[in-house]
Amino acid sequence: MSCCGAGAELSLLAATDPREILLASRPIAGNLRQTDLSVPDVHCGACIHTVEKVLGALKGVSSVRVNLSTRRVTIKWRADIETPPDFIGTLRSAGYEAHLFEMDNDAGDATLSELIRALAVSGFAAGNIMLFSVSVWSGAEPATRDLFHGLSALIALPTLLYAGRVFFRSAWQALRHGRTNMDVPISLGVSLAFGMSLYETAIHGPHAYFDASVSLLFFLLIGRTLDHVMRERARVAVKSLARLAARGALVQQADGSQTYLPVAEIKPGMIILLTAGERVPVDAVVTQGLSELDVSLVTGESVPQRAQPGADLRAGTLNLTGPLTITATAAARDSFLAEMLRMMEAAEQGRSSYRRIADHASALYAPVVHLTALLTLIGWMFIEGDWHHAITIAVAVLIITCPCALGLAVPMVQVVAARRLFEVGIMIKDGGALERIGEVDTIVFDKTGTLTRGNPRLVDASELDLAVLALAGTMAAHSLHPFSRALASVAQPVQPPITFDAISEIAGCGMEARMEGSVIRLGRPEWSLDCLADADIDVSSVVLSRDGLRLADFLFEDSLRAGAAECVAELKRDGFAIEIVSGDREAPVRKLAGALGVSAFAGMLPGAKAEHVADLARGGKKVLMVGDGLNDTPALMAAHASMAPASAADVGRNAADLVFLRDSLSAVPLAIAVAREAQKLVRQNLALAVGYNFIAVPIAILGHVTPLVAAIAMSGSSIVVVANALRLRGRRLPAKASDTGTVFPSPHRVVGNGL
């Protein structure tokens, strides 16, 4: 995904206006707003440190995170300040041009094109200069030698100016603003090698290093290009996901006319005409038409899903068979697809403890490198008095100690892990979550909607009186509770239709209606009936009553989520402590816990769930909470790490560290396995980066490495670190999760509205 869309220059100019920043930001939790900027010049750990430091110092800024792969900066700032901080002006003062982040799926990779051109030019020049050098090494006469040195200089100078600008431009921006980055020692090394050679040529000296300086640049560009390509390869999942976003949609205006609007201009409430073969542009609800949708993006299920009036649609899903009229329920930037994109990109922005160490080390590295090279120069001048040899060794030290490998050690593993998890339908909201989920030893599951589908079915509906079922179904249609939906879905409409004088929903109890002077209740038995003891009613059923007398009772059954039993069994084999914490009644919770062979806690209110997780943490446990409902949110936030299904309430998804899109709970052990493997690779990468410097730096200081060999070694260390990150595989998710799951009778106690 390119950071710069068409019209980026206009954005660059307009974004300096605080009103533009305000319009481009979006509100998030905690009285904060979030602004995303594109900063194309960010390319190393030192750049990340500088950008986050200067923006973080602005008044009202809560946090700043830089995504190195997308060159994207995410800024969270207080919504209560009158004027947004001057983000772009501050970055410009620090030497970084910036503009509002725009997603442009068709824009080419300008950085890769520039790198390839520079690589081609430097490679061609290095080959030609090497031919002259071979002639000199073969014993050319002084006049011929001087001629070949002069020709080499004529080739090397434009080559360095053109191909070397990749490094020189970045280094100059850093030095101009009083800071350093990884390109400063590289630029100094290349420039010094060329300057020494030019001096030797001017004084008719026997040795010149034009071949070394240009070849040095060539090998450095190989490393930089491979680094860029591998990053893009690791991020191909995000690009593929971004391509699922519609460009626009046909919107019906209030006067009946139709206008095609870009997706960014579609607002909630707009009526959209969606033809077969089009992707849903924003989250919406169907108001007219019948069709089938490819929802594999959301659920991982390849079987088309029926779309009819009232059905919720997610952005990015594909309309297959018929035209639909839909009403937008969210703007493009707030849609489900945009949320998944943000989670994928946030995976690389997270700051685990390993990454914080690497970032701080990279930020401090450049001054240390320069000091080491200077001391090496002084030391060799003192030992030999040969400034030519001393500068050559100092150049080698400058190049070989560049901390590129250290800067890549952690983020490459994080972005590869995020891609691997995305491939199996697991989205990471924070790169730091990878470290946390790899540390967990206790896993707490919610019951309804997590271990079970949370989609109850009415038992023996065919045996119920149709008139009574119609009455209950008409009342239930006024509620969104799962039991209400189950009742409403099986009740057949009657003629004349049932109407109520009044109907209301009583929180925690059920539905109450008034009709023909009677009070009709549908909900908890203890609330619906005047005398529970004599009613011979299962206290865990839902009861329909008139004036306190029983008309009918309804039992529901739920089924285990696909892969739930296998997930719990696998986690138990791996040594994890497993618990169920539910707000449901004792009987159904105990029955499920017994079937799965785990401990359980029933009747837990949201605060009690969070307190239980906190108690486990105080006992030294690192808890992974897996839940889906609004009542699970405090526990999700209190846990060491958290996961939620895509079907979870919005607030639950926002609170979770990871969101799994597919139905199967196999996502839980798979995420843990990938996280643990990622941790292992991070430790290996850090060891490789640090070990390389411990070995390479002393050898360079002792004068056993030429600048060319130093460039090859430095590029090679970066490539090794990136290649090691690409080894991450994780275990496989089952090819297709079962659609049915095990039926688990669960005549639930009513929670929330009582149904």
Strands (E), 404-501: 426-428, 442-445, 457-458
Q: Which of 335, 514, 297, 516 is nearest to 422 (CA)?
A: 297
Phi, psi of 284 (to 5 degrees): -155, 175
Q: Is 285 helix (H, G, I), strand (E, B) or coil?
A: strand
Dist. CA 474–CA 164, nearest whole Å: 75
Per the DSSP assignment, residues forming a β-bridge with 523 are: 510, 543
Distance between CA atoms of 254 and 270, rounded to whole angstroms? 9
The DSSP line for 33-89 is EEEEEE-TT--SHHHHHHHHHHHHTSTTEEEEEEETTTTEEEEEEETTSSS---HHH
Minimal CA–CA distance to 665: which of 414, 305, 431, 425?
425
**Angle between helical axes of 404-423 and 707-725 (0-180°, round to 10):** 20
The CB-based long-range contact list for 572-575 (8 Å cut-off, 24+ gap) reads 572/597, 572/598, 574/669, 574/672, 575/441
Compute φ and ψ for 660, nearest 5 degrees.
-105, 130
| Contact by Cβ (8 Å): 347, 411 | no
Whether 446 is a known active-site residue: answer yes
User: In whole angstroms, what is the distance from residue 114 CA to residue 68 CA?
Assistant: 18
For residue 276, how many other CB atoms are within 10 A of its CB? 13
Distance between CA atoms of residues 348 and 267, nearest Å: 30
C-alpha–C-alpha distance, residues 144 and 152, integer Å = 12
Distance CA 24, CA 17 (A): 11
Q: What does the angle CA 749 – CA 751 – CA 755 come to, to the nearest 5 degrees?
A: 75
Cα separation, 471 vs 483, whole angstroms: 15
Separation of alpha carbons 283 and 281, rounded Å = 7
* Cα 752 from chain centroid (whole Å): 33
Q: Catalytic pick from 446, 553, 657, 663?
A: 446
Q: Which residue has the tokens 């100016």?
A: 161
C-alpha span between 313 and 328 (Å, rounded): 9
DSSP letter string, 234-274: HTHHHHHHHTTS-SEEEEE-TTS-EEEEEGGG--TT-EEEE
- Which run of H or E residues covers position 581? strand 577-581
Cβ of 136: how many Cβ atoms within 10 Å? Answer: 19
Helices 667-701 and 564-573: crossing angle, nearest 10°?
A: 50
SS3 state of residue 748 = coil
Q: Which residues are catalytically annotated?
A: 446
